[in-house]
Amino acid sequence: MNIDEKLEPVLAEVMARNAGEAEFHQAAREVLESLGPVVARHPAYAEGALLERICEPERQIIFRVPWVDDSGQVQINRGFRVEFNSALGPYKGGLRFHPSVNLGIVKFLGFEQIFKNALSGMPIGGGKGGSDFNPRGRSEGEIMRFCQSFMTELYRHIGEYTDVPAGDMGVGQREIGFMFGQYKRITNRYESGVLTGKGLRWGGSRVRTEATGYGTVYFLERMLATKGDSFEGKRVVVSGSGNVAIYAMEKVQELGGIVVACSDSGGYVTDEGGIDLTLVKEIKEQRRARIASYVELNGAGAYHVAEASIWDVPCDIAIPCATQNELSGKAAKRLVENGVIAVAEGANMPCTPEAVRLFQSANTLFAPGKASNAGGVATSALEMQQNASRDSWTFEQTEARLATIMAAIHDRCAETAEDYGMPGNYVAGANIAGFIRVAEAMRALGVI
């Protein structure tokens, strides 16, 4: 899709003012490419520099994180929090701990979060944060000391009515616990709603662990139903083997699909009889080992392939759940040749622009991450709701809310795409629906 000439100066300014931030440029271009018909129908959205404002974070925080490792050596990492847009509510978005984290990646994630959170229908704005700290191979004591140092700076910028971080890659319940403990220690307040992804015994929500993976599959289920289809008997490939991937696989299996492959950074495993999810959980959640060990622990029928693309494995449905830009145009071409009928992004922007174009031109059902993986942040908002009312919901009650939210997101995207003359284009539908909700709030609040 080409960008409307009225929006070209906006993208040019974004690229000039954020030099070298390729992922942020990619995310901004993808949204702006969808908005030509919106601006043509509603010229007011191009007034008052609204488009320029929505592409500029309200606040960008970068800070030093010093901590001491187990050998007594001082280590230095860099921390980030980009508070992108609060027109709909307090900033909401995860914290990512990974060596690849830099300002451009945090801005891309925060920008995507604006529209994802808007699509959820919940009263939350968009933000993101993290650090280039690598938790892999670090002891629990080192991770605790890092988290405490990170929160010692971050605490002054967050709050349940200001900015509510959650987990992301490299940040799970353990890390959230260490950070919440330090926040409580510094502020002398048990402010449960300041972080989400907490443990069930101290303010967490049931289904939060499963929410992103479950939500992606619920979206896919709804999308398949528009073609009179379902997961029953379908071969499914899921990249990754972390939290999102594990619970996407779990829900696929519940709905009758057969997950034949999953992966990590060391390669992928295939199991034609269906991936043994109990074993994957043991490897990743208990042993914290590499997925390659699946073969030696499972044996019969499984094999591991290193340094190769998981997208070479023939499948009916593909769910990329690892990281941004993991699924290239070449991989998309291979999937289409092998007969893939649907792709849903469990990770944030895992498909390159070329891959997305190939899926759309092949009439493959394609769900963009800002819609299909919104279940995680939606359930985080449900956790905030429970914290505010000092309440705790059952697993069944929370999962039912999640399923309802994901169905509504799907329908909102589909109906918006139809309304703007692009039926079946979930990318355009998600971008336009999310943008309109945020734009209306920004107009109502004035030039701020």
Identify the bridge partners of residue 238 per DSSP, sorted by sequence position.
319
Asked if 203 and 306 touch (Cβ cutoff 8 Å), the reply is: no
- How buried is 388 (Cβ within 10 angstroms: 0-12 exposed, 13-18 middle, 19+ buried)? exposed
Task: Note the Cα 2 to chain centre separation in Å.
Answer: 25
Torsional class of 66: left (φ above 0), alpha (ψ -120 to 50), beta (otherwise)? beta
What's the rounded Cα separation, in Å, for the pair 102 and 80? Answer: 8
Residue type, 151: M
Q: With contact defined as beta carbons under 8 Å apart, do 255 and 218 qualify?
A: no
3-state SS assignment for residue 62:
strand
Annotation says 330 is catalytic: no
Q: What is the three-state SS of 93-131?
A: EEEEECCCCCHHHHHHHHHHHHHHHHHCCCCCEEEEEEE
Torsion of CA 362, 365, 366, 367, to 10 degrees: 170
Q: Is 65 helix (H, G, I), strand (E, B) or coil?
A: strand
Q: Determine which one of 107, 128, 198, 370 is catalytic.
A: 128
Q: What dihedral angle (degrees, nearest 10) is formed by the CA atoms of 213, 263, 333, 28?
A: 50
Phi, psi of 206 (to 5 degrees): -60, 150
SS3 310: helix
Question: Rounded to whole angstroms, how far apart are CA atoms 176 and 197?
Answer: 7
Bridge-based pairing of strands 342-344 and 365-367 is parallel
Instruction: Report whether 109 contacts 92 (CB < 8 A).
Output: no
Cβ atoms of residues 119 and 430 within 8 Å: yes
Residue with tokens 């509504």: 408
Sign (positive/negative) of CA torsion 248, 193, 107, 78? negative
Backbone angles phi, psi at 426, to 5 degrees: -70, -25
Q: Tell me the H-state helices in 103-210.
A: 103-119, 140-154, 173-187
Give catalytic residue positions. 128
